[in-house]
Structure 1
Amino acid sequence: MADMDPTGGLWNWAAAASLPAERVHGALAGALERNVGPLESGSAVLCDVYHVGGDFPTVIDVYLAPETLAESTAASAVAVRLGVEIVLPDDSLDPSAYVLAGPDGGLRDVRIDETETDAGTERRLRRDRPAA
């Protein structure tokens, strides 16, 4: 799963609902127990939230994420707080392989189709990945 993020402090997620930035920042702050704010805020953790189409219309880019916490654990905690599914890339080299964090706190492997648009990358759930 996406626990060993090679970028060190940068997470890129997408949520399965249209969410306001303030709500995302609050859920992330609660999960990380750190101050979270928009890029220009100077907060301990910076978070850019924007909207695209697709099954996961809210894109959540987290900068200065704590390297001591597994990304999938953080995404799971945020999904529970927001009550929505969140997808994050897994740690494989397969660009369609993602981890889905559910509002129940569960994690599962899924496949995502991506389409580049003028607004950003749209993600659509393809199907569950078969067990390895």
Structure 2
Amino acid sequence: MSTMFGMADGDPTPGLWNWAIGKRIDEDRVRGAIAGTLERSVVPLGADGMIMCDVYAVGGDFPTLADVYLAPAEVAETTAASAVAVRLDAAVLLPDEGLDPTRYVLAEPDGTLRPVHVDEIETDDGPERRGLRPCTGDDCDRTPDRPAAA
């Protein structure tokens, strides 16, 4: 199995996924979508469980943040994010390994994955992401059909 988009599947901190969701969604619904995707119990941060998920609201174009702790290593983050986006009918934004801090992977509500750029502003409530735009240029040559050259 090949990776589609860098950090999303090769994160140096295995078991931690940090996602931003493109609309406000109740925390129980987010946890339920992740649990259904992973076929495992997902509990709030601090509760006893194999997978924990902290969900909170911020401003910006992706106002629901989900931090998933102890995510299973055998599941590619991009695959999980794609399935969760479909279940929630909302875009899910996740990190990319590129050197450009504005580059992310977007899992669209239909499950499509694509590289994008967004601007991130750190606030007291957490990071806000705004200004979604297509990925163009040299840093955007990697796609599911055309991985980056080794």
With the length of structure 2 as denominator, give the TM-score of the two structures. 0.85
**What percentage of aligned pairs have identical amino acids?**
59
Find the aligned partners of 2:121 and 2:49 in 1 and give their Cα distance.
32
**What does residue 63 of structure 1 align with?**
69
**8 Å CA contact 1:110, 1:125 repeated in 2:** no
Find the aligned partners of 2:68 and 2:92 in 1 and give their Cα distance.
13
How far did residue 126 of structure 1 move? 3.5
Aligned residues: 132
**What does residue 14 of structure 1 align with?**
20
Find the aligned partners of 1:37 and 1:112 in 2 and give their Cα distance.
29
Say which of 27, 38, 42 aligns to 2:33. Answer: 27
With the length of structure 1 as denominator, give the TM-score of the two structures. 0.96
**What does residue 46 of structure 1 align with?**
52
User: 5+ unaligned residues in a row in structure 1: which ranges?
Assistant: none
TM superposition outliers: structure 1 runs of 4+ over 6 Å: none
How far did residue 82 of structure 1 move? 0.4
**What does residue 101 of structure 2 align with?**
95
User: 5+ unaligned residues in a row in structure 2: which ranges?
Assistant: 142-150
**8 Å CA contact 1:5, 1:71 repeated in 2:** no
How far did residue 92 of structure 1 move? 1.8
